[in-house]
Amino acid sequence: MRVLVVEDNRDICENIAAYLEKHGYLMDFAYDGISAMHLALTNPFDVIVLDLMLPRMDGLNFCQKLRIDAQVETPVLMLTARDTLDDKLKGFEAGADDYLVKPFALQELHARLQALYKRSRGKATNLLTVGDLTMNRSTLEVHRAGQRIDLAPAGMRLLQRLMEAAPSVVARDDLETLLWADERPDGDALRSHMYKLRQAVDRPFDSALIHTVHRIGYRIAEEAE
């Protein structure tokens, strides 16, 4: 799961990161509302953890702009020291999906993020499609032009991440973290995995779907930009 944490208290960010990264989360951080908005509009996050009191743009304004102006439906967990009913109602009216009051237990944050993720996945179709390539997220079956494609676990994880982000670029660093977390192998092991993925997904067919974005990462789309 990829999570954007928007919080200006860096100690809290470090505590959240230390706990959630152990559970396989990919973490991004923003320390003010403007920076957070840029990240939220240019990256495919699964959940956003949003502090209410932020410099440059507070959490309520951020959430409203995200929902109304940008039409982004990424689940938002509002994180704040304000615990009155009126404060909570304002958060939900702004577009928050859940509300967690500081101080909080990291185990509860983890549980709430999992619930939001599962709820949002349930709203979405299990079938990912890019051109004539499909992946069923429930069965992990991959087909292209009606032909079944068998992939190793690493290739399956890479392809799912690329298809979920399509047509956006997924950074090399994100893909390496997805496969190896903090224990990355020596050499360019990612390139080897991407080569094998291309051999399965692209080589037997007339057109390539997987494209390299030089010095940045990879994307999957019907046409390279």
pLDDT digits (tens, 9 = 90+) for 125-169: 678 889 899 998 878 899 998 899 999 999 999 999 999 888 889
Count of residues in the chain: 225
CATH number at residue 48: 3.40.50.2300
Taking phi over 0 as left and psi of -120 to 50 as alpha, with beta for the rest, 56 belongs to left
Amino acid at 218: Y
Model confidence at 5: pLDDT above 70: yes
Q: Which residues of 66-97 are buried (b: 16+ CB within 10 A; e: fewer)?
A: bbeeeebebbbbbbbebeeeebbebbeebbbb
Beta strands 98-101 and 76-80: pairing type? parallel
Looking up tokens 């944490």 gives 5
Looking up tokens 């999957």 gives 220
- Give the end of a domain, one of 104, 123, 142: 123
Going from the C-alpha of 86 to that of each of 82, 83, 89, 91, the distances in angstroms are 9, 8, 5, 9
pLDDT in tens, 25-63: 889 999 999 999 999 988 889 899 999 999 999 999 999
Q: At what angle do helices 172-180 and 153-165 cross, to 10 degrees?
A: 140
In a domain, 225, yes or no: no
Q: Are residue 21 and residue 118 in the same domain, yes or no?
A: yes
**Region 199-214: what's the mean pLDDT?**
94
Is the pTM higher than 0.85? The answer reads no
Q: Considering the chain, what percentage of its residues have pLDDT values greater than 90? A: 62
Query: How far is it, in rounded angstroms, from Cα 132 to Cα 144?
Result: 5
- Give the end of a domain, one of 81, 97, 123: 123
Task: Name the token pair of 171.
Answer: 């950074």
115: closest CA among 87, 82, 77, 149? Answer: 77
- Give the end of a domain, one of 66, 98, 123: 123
Segments forming the whole domain that contains residue 211: 127-220
Q: Are residue 87 and residue 35 in the same domain, yes or no?
A: yes
Domain count, the chain: 2
Q: If you ran DSSP here, which 8-state letter would residue 207 be given?
A: S
CA torsion sign, 22 to 23 to 26 to 30?
Answer: negative
| 111, 77 Cβ separation under 8 angstroms | no
